[in-house]
Structure 1
Amino acid sequence: MTDIDDHIAAAAFRRLVEHLRMRTDAQNVDLMGLAGFCRNCLGDWLHEASDGTLSKEAGREAVYGMTQAEWKANHQTPATPEQLTRMNESVALNKKLRGA
């Protein structure tokens, strides 16, 4: 990944965020279950990459385009037991792959 220019990587990240804002039907629990990351993760990674200059809440708001509470109220549906199981399995796989 270090071979990709930061300007190009930033543009791709912005496009991903724009896509996720457009696809409010893609629930975080499903993203976690399938890919092991969600909008919250992206916001948290922004926070971590900022070395503390951006709060976790501000990072998430940058991804959601609104507060997380607003997004939940407007777009989040209740998770099914199956979705939660798949998400938990995916989180466990993330930990295993990271060696945690």
Structure 2
Amino acid sequence: MPKGYVILTEAIRDQAGMDAYSRAATPSMVEANASVLAVDAEPEVLEGRWHGDRTVVLEFESVEAARRWYESAAYARAQPLRQAAAETNAVLVAGFEMPPRRA
């Protein structure tokens, strides 16, 4: 079963509001066994346009686990704080496992 990843790009309008969101969202991420793989204020854009001031990549044990976290009551309490403080794009993607090499 592939891992699940939630990727958020955030155009922050209110840093204090985002700090409050982080404090409110962290317990839900811990409860869901999420790993924060990246938080970057200045990603290097290799092609095209990138949205926002900050990019966050969260890893979950599966796509289903990521969806459960995003739809959880615990995260639902934090989400309005983020929505008030930033314009965000969020996607859920499945990890990819390379097939084994044949000898």
**For this structure pair, what is the TM-score category when the shorter chain's length is used for normalisation?**
under 0.3
TM-score between the two structures when normalised by the length of structure 2: 0.25
TM-score by structure 1 length?
0.26
Name the one with the larger helix percent: 1
Task: Choose between structure 1 and 2 for higher RCO, CA contacts under 8 A separated by at least 6 residues.
Answer: 2
